Structure 1
Amino acid sequence: MKLPPYANLRADTAWVIYSVLELGKSSRDCLAKAQARHSKQDSAWLQEMAMGVFRHVPQLQIWLRQLLDQPLKGNKKILEHLLLLGFYQQAYSRVSDHAAVSATVDAAEVLGGMRLKGLINAVLRNFQRQGLAEQTSSDPIVASGLPKWIYKRIAAAYPDQLTDIVDAMNKPAPVWLRVNTRQCSHEKYCKALTDAGIHFELSEQHPDAVILLDRLPITTLPGYPQGWFSVQDGAAQLAAPLLAPEANERVLDCCAAPGGKTAHLLEKQPAMATCIALDSESLRLERLNENLDRLQLEAEVICADASDPDSWWDGNQFDRILLDAPCSATGVIRRHPDIRWLRKPADIEALQALQQRILDALWPTLKPGGTLLYATCSILPDENSAQIQQFLARQQDATLAPVSDSETNDQPGRQILPGEQQMDGFYYARLLKSV
């Protein structure tokens, strides 16, 4: 479905919601198209409202079914998503009830619902009259804002941490920066933020990091054009020090786009003999190249399928490999609330199979004595500890090099849960190849 014929803030927001929930489109693509038609302030509002709806879909749909006698069909289905937006404004946002109703009703006309404006108005006013904003479900799955299957998997894997995980998934994530120490010292960058009146805090576990307390457009921060920093969550910032490349080594960053970890490797070890950034998506590699250019860094960039080394590998084995494997991204739902509705249960089995293929394909490209760091932004054990446990059973020349004190071969790797030390959910396992 195309964007509405002309720009209307609420109509465009409803189009984004519809595109994700009904058509399975990524919000990243939809938002960019919709936001391009609006001012910076309105673009920020559009994103805030759409992401808010994605966090509360189960409750919003309960209200919708209470108030709408018959589902809307065909090209009028988008009006249901406009109603979800109307409910969200009244129940969870700072938008006044009057504006939430009147402006949302006006948006119906833009979405082809001229004849249904009366229905939209009546539903939204009934929502007010009945005080439904105060009548939320006591079902913990509905309250979580998650699909039932994701909630149940998290509950099974982390029964004691379930409440904290769900809470973290539904809170906006902090903005982490990683200072590019090739261009600017950490001390100098902190002073630049202070001089600009921008509030931040530091992390004891991340020497190159800054956590912003003020939400500002990234491109307006000090040093952006000069490449003084990257935006990268604290969990992702652990990859480079855990891989720890040394001078004159050949290093592969696999599934590298958009390049945050590639850049960190280059910043940490400028004397690598070779740093190859490999990814199968050419558009994402364009972004990787743009990021490296801004940071004034260089890598050998290859567009190819990691699971098919014959198509890209020159036969020279690597000293170290970083595999940031394709995954469910359940650890970063707080940053991308649409993930909860884009992922399906069948995706997990397919992702497990892909992760296994890539692991097995890459292992022969690693030198004896070399290190492979496996990473995902998932919190599902099937993609993480179980995947590595099975790999260790298959590969007799692979051993675990623990990244945390609690690791065993039966429970390999470090699982970071959403919100832990303000980080995203992430998993790391470090593997050594026998000499």
Structure 2
Amino acid sequence: MIASASPPAPRPPGAPLGPSLATQLRHTARCVHAVEQGQSLSDVLPQVSAELRPGVQALTFHVLRHLGTARALLAQLVQRKPDAAVQALLCSALSLMLEDAEAGSSSGLHYAAHTVVNQAVDAARQDRGTARQAAFINACLRRFLRERPALMAEALRQPVARWNHPTWWIERLQRDHPDHWQAILAANNQPGPMTLRVNRRRVERTAYQQALQAIGVASTPVGDDGLVLDAPQPVERLPGFAQGHCSVQDAAAQMAAKLLLEGRTWTVADRVLDACAAPGGKTAHLLECADLNMLALDVDARRCERVDDTLKRLGLSAEVRCADAGQPDAWWDGQPFDAILLDAPCTASGIVRRHPDVRWLRRASDVDQLVKVQRNLLEALWPLLKPGGRLLYATCSVFRAEGADQVQAFLERHTDAVHRPSPGHLLPGSAAPAGEFNDNPLGGYDGFFYTRMDKAAP
């Protein structure tokens, strides 16, 4: 998972100069091009050198949050659509030249427009695929500077350019959340805060907050174990991170453990299944809260290694198995579970502020396909729950088809499923409606959906 980008730290006096904006723009354009070709930033950014990655990530996140506007501007500036590499570089430069004070201040990216033009031209000359188009790129960007007010006014007449989300996504939010859709879209274009989960088995939250304060990092408590940082920090700077004192996890994701475990006393005799566990944050939080006989599944062997690594760092133990939760005949031993966490595969439409590529990678048809996957997982796992047991269904989605509608259909099919008070849809950032489940003081939750269902006794 890629964390929210933060601006590179100021260069200390006398330190060597960092990479030029032209170099960073060249690599940013390559990342944007890869996303437009259907690749996830989670796969693309690790290919960027360690020296360049922080700056390139910050620039790429910014571009993707403004890609709809940049594309609409580019369509006015050119008569014929340029080559994909040239288009990606132009969109990257245009996104840095937009008159968007609010987004600029939140991203921490401030460049004079003429500097962006010059550096974009230099970036074009550095790359074989764009070198011959350097003069064309220069002409397009200088025309934008001359005609910016008129070009912007025309571009922002298009919903995709105004909201920087695909048309189908905007329309679905308008149907699903008619009172909050604009706030959701606006929140998606802002970076989410960095939130920590303090490992209660290693350190008390108050003590850890004081340790942060001692190194000049201010924080605010959230939930039972969380701390929202005033500013993002490299994990290497967090006190005791390598020793398992904390993890990075949004406040919405931290709700899973409490929602699944609350209301009863748990012991190591209780069998608990985390059905789609990777990268292991929720598995770990459950084990931090209680001694459990935990089985963590994931269908991807490499992601199972991440679960193992997470548990090892935090000093926790669980059985981690590579298996498809939807095919229990291949892995289930026939012993029913006391509790199941199903954090199901979904569109990730609730965590766009941390993964701005998601909106451009998803297609409308993906929603229906994922709804089928979620339904199949629910049907496969429900028989594995003992009478009196509980299942927490979760997705990091704001789409009702993957949340409220999915659960309503399940309850209609299963008369032995008892719906318990649950948060339902948590909306991202300031879009989240006030209520007992919305106590995040800084930046709001990521978008999430939670419902707990208990299996009635015969």
Q: TM-score normalised to the size of structure 1?
A: 0.91
Report SS of the residue matched to 1:184: coil
Query: What amino acid is the match of 2:44?
Result: C
Matched residue, 2:33: 18
Displacement of 1:38 in angstroms is: 4.6
Partners of 1:11 and 1:111 within 8 A in 2: no
Matches of 2:162 and 2:189 in 1, distance apart? 10
Report SS of the residue matched to 1:431: strand
Query: What amino acid is the match of 2:90?
Result: L
Deviations 1:376-417 (A, max 9, x none): 01111111111111111112221112225xxxxxxxxx1111
Matches of 2:129 and 2:184 in 1, distance apart? 40
Name which of 370, 386, 410 aligns with 1:367: 386
CA 1:30–1:152: 2 relative to 1, 3 Å: same
Could you list the runs of 4 or more consecutive aligned residues of structure 1 that deviate by over 6 angstroms after TM superposition? none
Unaligned runs of 5+ in 2: 1-21, 101-108, 433-439
Is residue 263 of structure 1 aligned with residue 284 of structure 2?
Answer: yes
Displacement of 1:207 in angstroms is: 2.0
Deviations 1:170-192 (A, max 9, x none): 11101110100111111110110
Name which of 212, 220, 226 aligns with 2:237: 220
Report SS of the residue matched to 2:279: coil
Displacement of 1:430 in angstroms is: 0.7
Displacement of 1:99 in angstroms is: 2.5
Query: What amino acid is the match of 1:83?
Result: L
Deviations 1:19-60 (A, max 9, x none): 001x110011111112xx252xx4322112111111122211
Query: What amino acid is the match of 1:54?
Result: L
CA 1:38–1:257: 2 relative to 1, 3 Å: closer
Mapping for residues 178-327 of structure 1, pairs under 5 Å? 178-203=197-222, 206-244=223-261, 246-247=266-267, 248-270=269-291, 272=292, 274-327=293-346
Mapping for residues 36-435 of structure 1, pairs under 5 Å? 37-39=49-51, 42-72=52-82, 76-91=83-98, 92=100, 93-109=109-125, 110-132=127-149, 135=153, 137-203=156-222, 206-244=223-261, 246-247=266-267, 248-270=269-291, 272=292, 274-403=293-422, 414-419=424-429, 420=432, 421=440, 422-435=444-457
Partners of 1:331 and 1:418 within 8 A in 2: yes
Matches of 1:317 and 1:111 in 2, distance apart? 60
Report SS of the residue matched to 1:401: strand
Matches of 2:147 and 2:284 in 1, distance apart? 54
Deviations 1:115-166 (A, max 9, x none): 2111111111111122258545144443111100010010111111122212
Query: What amino acid is the match of 2:278?
Result: A
Partners of 1:16 and 1:30 within 8 A in 2: yes
Partners of 1:369 and 1:432 within 8 A in 2: yes
Matches of 1:63 and 1:190 in 2, distance apart? 46
Deviations 1:95-129 (A, max 9, x none): 12233112211222314222211111111111112
Deviations 1:289-336 (A, max 9, x none): 111111111110011111100111111110000000011111111111
Report SS of the residue matched to 2:225: strand
Partners of 2:275 and 2:296 within 8 A in 1: yes
Report SS of the residue matched to 1:306: coil
Matches of 1:262 and 1:111 in 2, distance apart? 47
Deviations 1:66-93 (A, max 9, x none): 1122112xxx421110000111122254
Q: Which moved more, 1:47-56 or 1:135-144?
A: 135-144
Partners of 2:349 and 2:447 within 8 A in 1: yes
Partners of 2:73 and 2:152 within 8 A in 1: no
Deviations 1:222-265 (A, max 9, x none): 11111100111111111001110711200000111000000000
Report SS of the residue matched to 1:331: coil
Query: What amino acid is the match of 2:94?
Result: F
CA 1:252–1:19: 2 relative to 1, 3 Å: same
Matches of 1:403 and 1:201 in 2, distance apart? 24
Matched residue, 1:408: none
Matched residue, 1:31: 45
CA 1:320–1:11: 2 relative to 1, 3 Å: same
Partners of 2:325 and 2:377 within 8 A in 1: yes
Q: Across the two proteins, how many residue pairs are aligned to each other?
A: 408
Matches of 1:202 and 1:143 in 2, distance apart? 35
Report SS of the residue matched to 1:336: coil
Displacement of 1:283 in angstroms is: 1.6
Partners of 1:384 and 1:427 within 8 A in 2: yes
Report SS of the residue matched to 2:226: strand
Deviations 1:316-367 (A, max 9, x none): 1100000000111111111111110111011011101000111000011111
Report SS of the residue matched to 1:70: coil
